[in-house]
Amino acid sequence: MALYLSKELENEAKIYVWRIEETEQQLLEMTSIPDEELEELTFITSEARRREFLATRALLNEVFEEKVYLGHHENGRPYLQNLAMEISISHSKEFVAIILHPSDSLGIDIESLDRDFSAVERKALSEDEIEDLGDRNRTLQLAIYWCAKEAIFKRMSLSGVDFAEQIEVERFTPHEEGTIDATFTYKDGNEVELELEYMTFENHVMVWLVD
């Protein structure tokens, strides 16, 4: 019942990961939750989603000495209401991960390797990316593709993004950790080059933007 991982990046960003081992009641008892978040919690019908919600708050309480208030923009992007700090959040059934930066918007995504990624290949990859898929470590490669595209999507904070057409991940060989390059193409044709890093742990993969 504590912080699982913390990582400081060269670009001043910090990553924190919480392993969700507590019951919903334990998380409620150990966590100081603002009233508006408690109200939001009452509308969540899934117990697993409530635990993810509470674990996110537990992680925020662990990271910040003062109480922070978490809000969401209309597009769902999270922000800290009372602190000048950019934040991105991701969670699986077992982990919650956040990335923080003093000023730059970044993105992070975490997924269990037990997930079925077959739909990712069909719907989220370009023809070139599908051709780059290997037979070895295929699930890990698909997971990295998906997490990378999700992290970029969160960073760009735009609606109606076509993952296959607008987010292109350069060819890479999956390892336990590494870096990958990607390109985001706006609908007007302008492009942004992006660099990401990834790591694996406890049958999960986590990918985050470094610029």
pLDDT in tens, 109-148: 999 999 999 899 999 999 999 999 988 899 999 999 999 9
pLDDT score of 183 more than 80: yes
pLDDT score of 210 more than 90: no
pLDDT score of 191 more than 90: yes
Mean pLDDT of 26-50: 90
Compute the distance between CA of residue 53 and CA of residue 16 in angstroms, rounded to an integer. 15
Supply the Cα-derived Rg of the chain in whole angstroms.
17
Quick check: helix, strand or coil at residue 176? coil
Give the pLDDT of residue 4: 97
Beta strand 95-101 with 14-19 is: antiparallel
Mean residue pLDDT across the chain? 94
Q: How many CA atoms lie within 13 A of 129 on its CB side?
A: 27
Compute the distance between CA of residue 120 and CA of residue 141 in angstroms, rounded to an integer. 11
First to last CA, the chain: 32
pLDDT score of 57 more than 90: yes
- Taken in order of first residue, the domains within the chain and their CATH numbers are 3-105 (3.90.470.20), 110-209 (3.90.470.20)
Query: Residue 211 — pLDDT band, cuts 50, 70, 90?
Result: confident
Q: How many CA atoms lie within 13 A of 157 on its CB side?
A: 17
Q: What DSSP element (H or E) covers 92?
A: none
Beta strand 70-72 with 177-185 is: unpaired
Lowest mean pLDDT among 74-83, 99-108, 144-153, 155-164: 74-83
Compute the distance between CA of residue 28 and CA of residue 44 in angstroms, rounded to an integer. 14
Compute the distance between CA of residue 158 and CA of residue 170 in angstroms, rounded to an integer. 21
